[in-house]
Every structure is written in structure tokens, then in C-alpha cells.
Amino acid sequence: MAPKVGIIGAGGIARHLKKRLTKKGWIVAWIGGRSLGDLRLLEKVDLVFNAISTLDNGEAARDNILFFVKRGIPVVTCEKGALAYHAKVLRRYMRLIGYQAACGGGSELLRYLLRLGVADRRGTHFWTVLNASLNMLFSEIGKGTKPGVAHRLAQKRRFLEPGKGSLFFAVSGELQDVLRKACVLFNTVLAKKEYLTPDMLTSWSLSQKELRFLCRHAKDYRYVVAFMNYKSGFGRQRHHGGFEAKVGEWSIKAGFRLIPPASRWIPDGPTNAVGIAGVDKNKRPFKVFSGKGAGHRPTTTAMITDAERLLGLRR
């Protein structure tokens, strides 16, 4: 029997999701905006997709998720605020929540890190690319595309929000997105007793001058979030437009940083990636995992895969 699902959301992700689910033969019983009113009046479903954007600190998504999981109905979410700000409240229901699309898009980066068990490994240091849109934008500029053209291209491909905003405005918005995603990663993969929220991070803004510098040297710079659970430190390299935090045994530092060509490990394009030191069972010094992140299709692919796992249709 085909699964019967509901979709919360009225944007591009929700529309794309409905189209793909219908094509798969799933029954979309209802679809609504971020405020559904009296949810008790909605037709009962097997699973709910929470496909709203983050316009607050995750309160709307948190409330939507809690309403359903408290009734035993699984929820798959791509929204970042709920798990960035309210992971402590949601933790007892995590077995009913699919969250791969909230950080890593279609790459399933979180699932990869969970399989490796990085939270329980001493001496772990790993670097992540958590914003595929920024990675696409700067890899394109690094190939010689003019910044304005790369910006419009990223908008056209729906990797950045459409509109008349400047490149600086777009990059600043994506930096806020990375901040939330770093918290989602920590709270779903690394957290034990302590959780990380965006207001715990010490952050510094990116100036117009720094952005011009990064555009001139785009082939050598990428936005990276690093996680480390030992005391050797991150070195003195400057991280432009980043943030840092210390939670339990973990230190976190992020920003645009120099990635020398000789040690280049980050793929070009709209990809998420992780480079890990000291965790490969074959004793190789560095291991890389990557996958497509930005865009409607990678995001909805991750959401549908999560739904299939929660419904027992996939391992």
C-alpha cells in the first residue's frame, strides 16, 4: 500500500517534493503553509515532510515536528532552525525525525559521519563544507567567471535566493545558513550532554573589502567548518567571515580559509564535503567524502530517502 503523507510548506522544495512523491505513487493527503492552524483537523498520514524555510529561530518547525512526533508520526525536515536551536527539546524523539536534508543536502554527510562514529573517536579532526551554494559560487569565480555573473548563475540554478540583492548580501545570508548548519551537525552527530546553538558561537562579519579580496583569490579559498577534539589547535591562519566555539571536548572554527592547490580536497561546484584526519581504519592519513548539496533535487532526494528509512522501506 502506498504511503500517505502530508507536506508542510508552500515554497519550491515543497512543490518539487509533491511532484516527485506523486510520481512515485505516494499519496499526498494534504499540503499547507508554515502555519497550518488546527492541525488536528488534518487527515491522518503515515509521515509528514516539514519543508518550510527558516524565518525565525526554528520555533515554527519545532512546533510542527513536536505536534506529529508526540503522536508517533515520523517527520522529515529540511529546515535548520529547529535542530540548531531546539535539539535538546527534540532529542527524545530523534528516532522519529529524518534530518539529513537539514545539513548536507543530498550528500547525506551527517549519516556518513554517524557511521564513522566520529563522536567517540579521540584525536579526531575533520573539515567540512556545509554550504554547497558558497562552494559553487567561489569555485565558479575561481575558474575566471566574473563575480556578478557567477552570482546570477547561482540564482538561476536556485542555489541562491532569487532577487535583486548584491553579491555581498547573498554571501552574508549564506554565512548565517552555515552557522545554523554547523549547529545541526554538532547536535545530531557529536552532542552527548551539551548541545550547540547559534547564540553560543563567537562570530565575526565579512567586510566588503574582504569579499573583494576573496573574489580575487577565489581559486585558493573555500568556506570550511573545522571540528577538533584534541588540543593541538587550529593554527594561526586567518578565517574570513567565520565563527568559533568550544563545547565539551570539541573546538569548532569556521571561515573562508586558504586551501593550497597541493592539498586541495574540496570538489568544485554545488557540493558538500568532509575531509577527515585520523579515523580511517586502513590508517590512511586523510579521507574525503562528498556529494551534491544545493538545489531542489538533491534536497528532496535526501528527504525522500529519510522517509523511506523511517517507514521501513529502505535500510
> Residue 102's pLDDT is what?
94
C-alpha cell at 235: 593554527
Q: Is 175 left (phi over 0), alpha (psi -120 to 50) or beta?
A: alpha
Nearest to 39 by CA among 66, 14, 13: 66
DSSP state, residue 128: E
CB 47 within 8 A of CB 25: no
CB 129 within 8 A of CB 272: yes
Q: How far apart are CA 78 and CA 295, in angstroms?
A: 12
Q: Sheet with 47-50: list strands edge to edge.
A: 27-32, 4-8, 47-50, 75-77, 97-98
> Residue 49's pLDDT is what?
96
> Residue 164's pLDDT is what?
58
Give the ranges where 123-232 is alpha helix by DSSP (H): 132-142, 147-156, 167-185, 208-216
What residues pair up with 125 in beta bridges, in sequence order? 228, 277
In this structure, the number of other CB atoms found within 10 A of the CB of residue 37 comes to 9
> Residue 234's pLDDT is what?
61
Report helix angle 296-310 to 12-24, nearest 10.
Answer: 50
> Residue 105's pLDDT is what?
80
> Residue 159's pLDDT is what?
77
* Max Cα–Cα distance, the chain, nearest Å: 59
C-alpha cell at 274: 568532509
> Residue 1's pLDDT is what?
81
In this structure, the number of other CB atoms found within 10 A of the CB of residue 308 comes to 17
For the chain, strand residue ranges (E) read: 4-8, 27-32, 47-50, 75-77, 97-98, 125-129, 202-203, 221-228, 240-247, 250-258, 271-277, 286-292
The pTM assigned to this predicted structure is: 0.91
Nearest to 301 by CA among 90, 104, 82: 104
CB 129 within 8 A of CB 271: yes
Q: How far apart are CA 46 and CA 307, in angstroms?
A: 10
Nearest to 39 by CA among 68, 13, 14, 61: 68
pLDDT (tens digit, 0 to 9) for every residue of the chain, 315 residues total? 899 999 999 888 999 999 999 999 999 999 887 766 666 567 889 999 999 988 889 999 999 999 999 999 999 999 999 999 999 999 999 999 999 999 988 888 999 999 989 888 877 888 999 999 899 999 999 999 999 899 888 888 877 765 557 889 989 888 989 999 999 999 999 999 899 999 999 988 899 999 999 999 998 899 999 999 876 566 666 678 889 999 989 999 999 988 866 467 788 888 889 988 765 555 555 678 888 877 788 899 999 999 999 999 877
